[in-house]
Amino acid sequence: MKKITLFACAMLMAMGVQAATELYAVQEGTQLTIYYDGKRVSRNGKVAPTGEHTGWWDYTQGTAIKTIQFDPSVANATPTSTAYWFDGFKGVTSIYNLNYLNTNSVTTMERMFRYCESLTSLQLYTAYWSFNTGMVTNMHGMFQGCKALTTLDLDRFDTREVTNMKSMFLDCEGLTSIKFGVVFDTDKVTNMMQMFDGCTSLTKLNLSGFEVGNVKIFTKMFYGANNLTTIYADYNWADFAPSTTTSTDMFTGCSKLKGANGTKYSASSVDITYARPDVAGSNGYFTKSACPMPRDLQATNITASSVKISWTDEAKHMKSTVYCTRENSPGIDASAEVTTNSATLTGLTPNTTYIVYVESQCSASASSERSRQISFTTGAPEQGVEEVQGDKVQSTKVLRDGKLLILVGDKTYDARGVEVR
């Protein structure tokens, strides 16, 4: 019996036992490579961070690492947090193959790249891939202290679920430009404290798409941005922000800031009171866009094949164009050019989720940025029930979105005989 047991153990050792698949990192010289497979022990790797305030490496090792690379195997991992992952990697100059990092389930990216002081560029999307932030709620300090970054292209950054943007770009002193896209949505954000604090190389900021209806903290939002001359925003933030909002030192130190009508920075006017367009009779530090972006998009009258899109324009426009595309599809499925503030799109596919946005043209030389996008889902297709031929009138009964309707000529009635408009 003893010989059989020993033989079985020997066979198991020869066959090898499959190691558990896990996310881990391996340091080789100045490079850190991240893997997702069952070879951590043989590679002497460090398991992925768990718990709060933990990164891949401690600060001492972080200064020695110059490059970070993601192995293709990482595409199969589904982390729910990347908080603090590269916090304190002060020597890192480049991050390669970020497209292999699957962030579809990540809900927090708090301080993910904080104090990556030597990082000179960060590619967050290509023609075929985007760094997915659609589930993220916390971006507190995400790029804080990235002193060597000169530009950040956030054109495809989806922030529709984010509530915390505190210190997001704090002390990014090398940044000269930040590009915000149509899905950089601030509707749910409650904290913008120190968001651009210490961004001493920024000269212009286009915040025309920012919504601040839920922001409770603006404290030191632009503090110390001493080369900032122009902030583009199209409405008075104080009119929309909660009454309990705090905004101490919001503009303190923005000594070169000037509104569109010539209002210059004053050390005695640094709270949200001056977060408004600078126009005759109302001093402020904001400059309205030459053609303000359409706002407050709504989708109504949704059927299986059509929808009505309406919006608000802050200025008169020559025309507006509505674009509609299926979710996760690069092509345009429907569009309409109108001179009013609404349009009806037809020819849509039933039971399909669509994304829609609007661009306006105010003059031959002035066009707006794209509006913030909204989504809607078309209904089920109409199902014919029966057709009734009377002496003088023909009617058709149909099921539309689960409701029985009666079509008579060009009119529609519900089951009670009441006309549906």
Query: Looking at the domain assignment, is residue 200 inside a domain?
Result: no
Task: For residues 345 and 389, state if they share a domain.
Answer: no
- Per-residue confidence (pLDDT) for residue 12, from 0 to 100: 44
What pLDDT was estimated at residue 338? 93
Q: Is the pTM of this model over 0.85?
A: no
**CA 301-302-305 angle, 5° bins:** 125
Tokens 């029966």 locate to 386
At 383 the pLDDT is 57
Pair 307, 360 in one domain: yes
Instruction: Give the residue numbers spanning the domain of 325.
Output: 295-377
361, 305: one domain:
yes
Rounded Cα–Cα distance for residues 367 and 359 (Å): 7
306 and 356 part of one domain: yes
Asked whether residue 353 is assigned to any structural domain, the reply reads: yes
**The pLDDT of residue 296:** 87
| Residue 76 to residue 79: CA distance in whole angstroms | 10
Query: How far is Cα 133 from Cα 143, in angstroms, rounded to an integer?
Result: 14
337 with 401, same domain: the answer is no
> Is the residue at 344 inside a domain?
yes
Distances (CA, A) of 319 to 69, 96, 226, 323, 360: 47, 43, 38, 13, 6
State the Cα–Cα distance between residues 300 and 408, nearest whole angstrom. 24
Residues 341 and 366 in one domain: yes
Q: Is residue 355 part of a domain?
A: yes
pLDDT in tens, the chain (421 residues): 445 555 544 454 444 556 789 999 999 999 999 999 999 999 999 898 876 677 887 666 778 899 999 999 999 999 999 999 999 999 999 999 999 999 999 999 999 999 999 999 998 887 677 889 999 999 999 999 999 999 999 988 999 999 999 999 999 999 999 999 888 999 999 999 999 999 999 999 999 889 999 999 999 999 999 999 999 998 899 999 998 899 999 999 999 999 999 999 999 999 999 999 999 999 999 999 888 889 889 999 999 889 999 998 877 788 999 999 887 776 788 899 999 999 999 999 989 999 899 999 988 888 888 888 889 999 887 655 444 454 445 566 665 655 666 777 677 777 666 777 7
Domain for residue 352, yes or no? yes
Residues 328 and 358 in one domain: yes
Q: Note whether 389 and 373 are same-domain residues.
A: no
Provide the domain count of the chain.
2
* Closest C-alpha among 226, 167, 228 to residue 194: 167
Question: How distant, in Å, are the alpha carbons of 40, 392, 393, 394, 421 from that of 409?
Answer: 72, 12, 8, 8, 14
Residues 6+ apart with CB under 8 A from 45: 24, 25, 26, 35, 39
Tokens in use for 8? 């079985």
One domain for residues 304 and 356: yes
271 lies in some domain: no
- 387, 357: one domain: no
> Residue 129: its pLDDT value, please?
79
Q: What's 351's domain CATH number? A: 2.60.40.10
Same domain, 373 and 335: yes
Contact at 8 Å (CB) between 187 and 158?
Answer: no
Q: Looking at the domain assignment, is residue 303 inside a domain?
A: yes
| pLDDT (0 to 100) of residue 419 | 78
Within a domain: 332: yes
